[in-house]
C-alpha cells in the first residue's frame, strides 16, 4: 500500500517509526516554525518557563510582526517589542522588522525559507498556505510553537487525505481563489475536518504559484489540517528563484509526490471549464455563489490584499480592471501588498499609481483589516468585498457589518461599480 505526499513527509520527519497510517500520533522533527506579533508573545512566555538558554536553531525560527505594524496602539507596540527583544536575545536570524516584513505566509515562501518536502508549523491557522510548495504546513497553538522553538519537534496526528482533482481550463477572471471557494461551498466548513486536502489534476498545471498559494491558504476554511500540492516545474522555478535571490541558509530540498496506490478517504473531481468567479456571501466561506447570482448589493469598502490574495499577480489583475477608471463615490478601496518586494514591484509596474489615481489607497504590507485589526475596520451596517479568507460575523469590524469574499478581479470591479460586479459589467 502506497502513501500520500502528506504521509511521506510526515514519515520522513517522524521519530522512531518506519511506517505510518492515518490516525497515528507521531513525534516529528520541525524544519521551520513561525510566529507573529499576536501568537509569539504567548509562545515566548511559555518558552521562558521552560528555562531554555537557546532556541533549537537560530536560522529555523521565524518571527514576523505582520498583524499590527506600524503599531496601531500601545498594546500592539508592546507586542512587537517583545518579538524584537526576544529575537535579539536569542540571535534569531529570521526576525523581520517593519520595512522588511510582510504578511508571514507570503514572506517566507518569497525568501525561500520554506522548501518542498519540509515539515513546518506556525502559530497561525493559515500556515497551511505553504503547502503549495509541496511541504507539510499546519497551524498550531502558541504553546506548541514554544515547544518547537525549544526542542525542534512537535506532536502530530496523521490526517486522512481527501484528493481534490481539478480538470479543465479556467475561464478568464477565474483563478485559484474561485476554485477553493467552489470546493468549500461543496464540502462545507467542516467537510475536511482534520484531513489533508491534496489538490491535483491538469488544471493545477495551468495555475501560477500565486493561485496555488491562495488554494492551500483556504484549506483550513474547510476544516483541513493542511492543503498540499505536489511540486512540479512551476514550483521548482519559484523555489530556485527565491533561493537564488535571498540565499537562505538551507538550499537543498526534496520533491515528493503521492504514490499511485495511495489510499484516500475521499476523491472529489471538479471540471472548472464552465466555472464562473465565486463569491462567498456572509457569514461563512462556504456560502459560495456565482458572481452572477449576486445583484444590486452596494459596497462600502473593497480590500485587496492579505495572505490569500496580496501577491503581485493579484495586484496586476486588479490594476488591469481598474486602470483609467474611478472608484465609486460611495466606496473605499484599500490595497495592501503582501510584502515589501511586492510593494516595490507594484510601484515599478505602475499598479500602485493605478490604484491611487483611481481614488484608492495603497498601504504598507500588513494583515490590516483582514482580522479586524486596523487600516480599514467596518462600521455598523457596512458591506465589504475582500480578497481575504474569512467572512465570519464581526471578522472585519462591527458585528453588524458584512464581508463578501472574492478574487481580485471581482473586488476591483466592485470598487468601480460601487456594488458587487464582474469586470464584464464595467
Does residue 316 have a pLDDT over 90? yes
Q: Which of 268, 288, 304 is the last residue of a domain?
A: 268
Q: Are residues 64 and 122 in the same domain?
A: yes
Residues in contact with 174: Cβ distance below 8 Å, sequence separation at least 6, in sequence order: 272, 275, 276, 277, 407
Range of the domain at 53: 5-268
Q: Are 192 and 159 in contact (CB under 8 A)?
A: no
Domain membership flag for residue 291: yes
Check residue 259 and give its pLDDT.
96
* CB neighbour class for 364 (10 Å; exposed up to 12, middle 13-18, buried from 19): middle
Q: Are residues 319 and 171 in the same domain?
A: no
Q: Are residues 241 and 143 in the same domain?
A: yes
Compute the average pLDDT of residues 242-266.
94
Q: Are residues 239 and 284 in the same domain?
A: no
Domain count, the chain: 2
Check residue 342 and give its pLDDT.
97
Q: Are residues 329 and 417 in the same domain?
A: yes
Q: Are residues 303 and 256 in the same domain?
A: no
Q: Are residues 262 and 283 in the same domain?
A: no
Check residue 179 and give its pLDDT.
98
* Closest to 43 (Cα-Cα) out of 137, 138, 155, 122: 122
Compute the average pLDDT of residues 2-20.
97
Question: What's this model's pTM, rounded to 2 decimal places?
Answer: 0.96
Q: Which of 213, 247, 268 is the last residue of a domain?
A: 268
Q: Are residues 23 and 95 in the same domain?
A: yes
Mean pLDDT of the residues in the chain: 96
Compute the average pLDDT of residues 56-70.
95
Q: What is the pLDDT of residues 110-144, one digit of tens each?
A: 999 999 999 999 999 999 999 999 999 999 999 99
Q: What is the pLDDT of residues 13-62, one digit of tens each?
A: 999 999 999 999 999 999 999 999 999 999 999 999 999 999 999 999 99
Domain membership flag for residue 349: yes
CA distance 312 to 377: 24
Q: What is the pLDDT of residues 279-296, one digit of tens each?
A: 999 999 999 999 999 989
Amino acid at each position: 500500500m502506497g502513501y500520500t505526499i502528506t504521509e511521506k513527509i510526515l514519515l520522513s520527519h517522524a521519530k522512531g517509526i518506519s511506517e505510518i497510517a492515518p490516525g497515528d500520533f507521531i513525534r516529528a522533527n520541525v524544519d521551520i516554525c513561525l510566529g507573529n506579533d499576536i501568537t509569539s508573545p504567548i509562545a515566548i512566555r511559555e518558552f521562558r518557563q521552560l528555562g531554555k538558554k537557546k532556541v533549537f536553531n537560530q536560522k529555523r525560527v521565524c518571527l514576523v510582526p505582520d498583524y499590527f505594524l506600524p503599531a496601531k496602539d500601545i498594546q500592539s507596540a508592546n507586542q512587537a517589542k517583545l518579538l524584537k527583544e526576544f529575537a535579539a536575545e536569542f540571535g534569531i536570524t529570521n526576525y523581520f522588522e517593519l520595512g522588511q516584513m510582510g504578511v508571514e505566509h507570503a514572506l517566507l515562501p518569497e525568501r525561500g525559507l520554506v522548501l518542498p518536502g519540509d515539515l513546518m508549523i506556525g502559530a497561525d491557522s493559515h500556515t497551511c498556505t505553504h503547502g503549495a510548495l509541496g511541504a507539510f504546513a499546519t497551524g498550531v497553538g502558541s504553546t506548541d510553537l514554544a515547544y518547537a522553538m525549544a526542542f525542534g519537534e512537535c506532536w502530530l496526528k496523521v490526517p486522512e487525505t481527501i484528493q481534490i482533482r481539478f480538470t479543465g481550463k479556467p475561464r478568464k477572471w477565474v483563478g485559484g481563489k474561485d476554485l477553493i471557494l467552489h470546493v468549500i461551498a461543496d464540502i462545507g466548513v467542516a467537510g475536511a475536518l482534520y484531513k489533508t486536502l491534496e489538490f491535483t489534476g491538469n488544471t493545477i498545471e495551468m495555475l501560477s504559484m500565486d493561485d496555488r498559494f491562495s488554494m492551500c491558504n483556504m484549506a483550513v476554511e474547510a476544516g483541513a489540517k493542511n492543503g498540499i500540492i505536489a511540486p512540479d516545474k512551476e514550483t521548482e522555478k519559484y523555489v530556485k528563484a527565491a533561493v537564488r535571490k535571498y540565499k537562505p541558509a538551507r538550499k537543498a530540498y526534496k520533491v515528493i509526490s503521492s504514490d499511485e496506490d495511495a489510499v484516500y478517504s475521499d476523491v472529489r473531481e471538479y471540471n472548472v471549464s464552465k466555472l464562473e468567479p465565486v463569491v462567498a456571501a456572509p457569514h461563512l466561506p462556504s456560502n459560495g455563489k456565482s458572481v452572477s447570482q449576486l445583484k444590486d448589493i452596494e459596497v462600502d469598502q473593497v480590500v485587496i490584499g492579505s495572505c490569500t490574495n496580496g501577491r503581485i499577480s493579484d495586484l496586476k489583475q486588479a490594476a488591469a480592471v481598474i486602470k483609467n477608471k474611478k472608484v465609486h463615490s460611495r466606496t473605499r478601496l484599500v490595497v495592501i501588498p503582501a510584502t515589501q518586494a511586492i510593494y516595490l514591484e507594484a510601484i515599478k509596474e505602475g499598479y500602485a499609481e493605478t490604484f491611487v489615481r483611481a481614488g484608492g489607497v495603497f498601504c504598507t504590507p500588513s494583515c490590516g483589516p483582514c482580522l479586524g485589526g486596523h487600516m480599514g475596520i467596518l462600521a455598523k451596517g457596512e458591506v465589504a468585498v475582500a480578497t481575504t479568507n474569512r467572512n465570519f460575523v464581526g471578522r472585519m469590524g462591527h458585528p453588524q457589518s458584512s464581508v463578501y469574499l472574492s478574487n481580485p478581479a471581482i473586488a476591483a470591479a466592485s470598487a468601480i461599480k460601487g456594488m458587487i460586479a464582474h469586470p464584464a459589467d464595467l
